[in-house]
Amino acid sequence: MFGLNAKQLFMLLLLIVALFAGSQVIPAYFHAFQFNDFIRQEVKFAVASRRTTEDIRARIVEKAQEFNLDVKPRDIHITRRGPAFSVELDYIIPIDLRLYHRDLSFHVTETGELFDQ
């Protein structure tokens, strides 16, 4: 077929499958990296931006919607300890490879200082 022997055809098919899987998995990890970095920056600069915990929660949910992540305000756990606070979030990015379905799980924990009014 197409002047290829069975081994070459198998390798070509394997390459196509690997490229398809990579085109689904790599963007998911890239979006997770960007989203985690956004959370890190929000927490780090919360005091300089004079943001409250509810502002931070709303901005995280808004950014999650930009990345098509199913994150609700109740999924974001914010714990206050004096002027410091920590944000914890678990989220899942589903991967659909037609024959194989997998959920990539991510956990974010960041600590920073908070502006109190």
Dihedral, 67, 80, 43, 107 alpha carbons, nearest 10: -40
Question: What's the pLDDT tens digit per position in 59-115?
Answer: 999 999 999 999 999 999 999 888 889 999 999 999 988 888 999 999 999 998 876
Of 72, 50, 48, 49, give the one whose Cα is nearest residue 60. 72
Question: What's the pLDDT tens digit per position in 43-54?
Answer: 998 888 888 888
Give, in order, the Cα–Cα distances in Å from 47 to each of 15, 39, 62, 112, 113. 49, 14, 20, 8, 6
Residue-range definition of the domain harbouring residue 54: 6-113
For the chain, the domain total comes to 1
Q: Whole-angstrom Cα distance, residue 108 to residue 40?
A: 9
Tokens of 53: 């915990």
Question: What's the pLDDT tens digit per position in 75-84?
Answer: 999 998 888 8
In a domain, 1, yes or no: no
In a domain, 97, yes or no: yes
pTM for the structure as a whole:
0.83
